[in-house]
Amino acid sequence: MENRIIVETALMLLTGLLFGRLAKFLKFPNVTGYLIAGLVLGPSLLNLIPSSMVDGFGVISDIALAFIAFSIGCEFNLNYYRKVGIAPIIIAISEAMGAVIIVTIVLIICGFDVKLSIMLGAIAAATAPAQTIMVINQYKAKGPLTSLLLSVVAIDDAVALIGFGFATTIVKMMSSNLNTNILISILSPVAEIMISFIIGLVTSLFMKLIFRWFKKTSNRECIIIAVVLLTYWMAEYFHGSALLACMTLGAVLVNIYAETDGVVKIVDHFTPAIFMIFFVISGAGFEIAALPAIGMIGILYVVLRVAGKVFGAWLGGKLTKQEDKICKYLGPTLMPQAGVALGLIVVASKMVPDYAAQIRVIILCSTFIYSIIGPIAAKFALEKSGEIVINKTV
């Protein structure tokens, strides 16, 4: 078993490199190539990485998500917010609620079960930053749209969790066979967010303290890895959001520690291989045979969520008086969905058990579709906004 894991890790890295190069040649983002590499290696095609092995690599996915969240948090500089005000918060709420409202209302109008529609609408709010961050890093995107995007996706998880908490409360109230405490249902996601913030705050102070005693880059690399993983574990253990906790760690650190740029460079040095394996695993975990089961409701979900994100981002941009290019191109960069959304499947399935299998298929299939299309859309939007620097380095 151990030898198999070693061989498959090597295979994923080599195949990821090959398909990443092919994607780059075709002018697609590298992450699209990584996902397709996983699809080729996985159960859908060659089956060199069977489903059982995909599950075995779950820890790599957790590590990758922890560092993706930490990297986003490091963009949360208060000096930036002093310049732009509360615009990112308003836009994050607008784009998340745009997806929720449009998905929920249209599905209900089309005759689908109200509780199922509410659950899918609530899940639609969540945005996964991983693919977009990879595109930003690959092309070294810089500018007002990129800065705003990083802030919006950092806030999005909190908005999605709170919105989902309210949605579950509504569904519980509609289910006569469930006894529910409305106050607890409303406060539960708020408590989850507060736990995450506290853990991130404590571990950021801890990291800053340890940095005083260790100056060498190699030592600090060990510290960063240890504290980020510890933060992720603590959030899981105390029933918080691991992603929010790691974001908070980065956000607090960037505002209390003067040498944060050095920390970011260290993270950028050792994470590319982890991220590559993460995306190859994500591709391998999808089975093409599941696509036909998505049905009309799944197709509507995929289309309506994108429409809601694009409209909500445009409306939020207009309300906060952003540049036209931000209003126009922010929405397409918010397409990917994974992480939090996949976690919410479990809760949603309990709320509407009769539709548990359908919810799982819809979200898993849409996640893969967004994973392929999302990076391409993000590259297009960043390119059109003039914030991409094409990197021709091999």
pLDDT tops 70 at residue 356: yes
pLDDT number for residue 310:
95
pLDDT number for residue 346:
61
2-384 adopts what CATH topology? Na+/H+ antiporter like fold (1.20.1530)
pLDDT number for residue 176:
55
Q: State pLDDT tens for residues 280-326.
A: 887 787 777 767 767 889 999 999 999 999 999 999 999 998 999 99
pLDDT number for residue 300:
94
Q: What angle do CA 180, 181, 187 make, to 5 degrees?
A: 125
Decide which of 230 and 179 is more confident.
230
Q: State pLDDT tens for residues 6-31.
A: 888 899 999 999 998 998 888 777 87
pLDDT number for residue 127:
84
pLDDT number for residue 137:
82
Decide which of 60 and 207 is more confident.
207
Question: What's the number of CA atoms in the CB half-sphere (13 Å) around residue 229?
Answer: 13
Q: What is the mean pLDDT of the chain?
A: 84
Amino acid (1-letter code) at residue 213: W
Decide which of 331 and 82 is more confident.
331
Question: What's the number of CA atoms in the CB half-sphere (13 Å) around residue 7?
Answer: 8
pLDDT number for residue 391:
53
Confidence of residue 180 (pLDDT cuts 50, 70, 90): low
Angle between helix 144-174 and 114-123 (nearest 10): 150
Tokens of 358: 């359908």
Confidence of residue 2 (pLDDT cuts 50, 70, 90): low
DSSP-assigned states of every residue in 44-73 = TTT-SS-HHHHHHTHHHHHHHHHHHHHHHH
Give pTM, 2 decimals.
Answer: 0.73
Q: In this prediction, what percent of the chain has a pLDDT beyond 70? A: 91
**Most confident of the ranges 52-61, 195-204, 265-274, 343-352:** 195-204
Nearest alpha-carbon partner for 122 in 354, 328, 352: 352
By the 10 Å C-beta count (0-12 exposed, 13-18 middle, 19+ buried), 302 is classed as: buried
What is the distance between the alpha carbons of residues 70 and 60, in angstroms, rounded to a whole number? 15
Measuring CA to CA, how many Å separate 355 from each of 10, 289, 352? Answer: 39, 19, 6
Confidence of residue 183 (pLDDT cuts 50, 70, 90): low
Confidence of residue 271 (pLDDT cuts 50, 70, 90): confident
Decide which of 190 and 105 is more confident.
105
Angle between helix 260-270 and 58-73 (nearest 10): 150
CB count within 10 Å of CB 46 equals 12
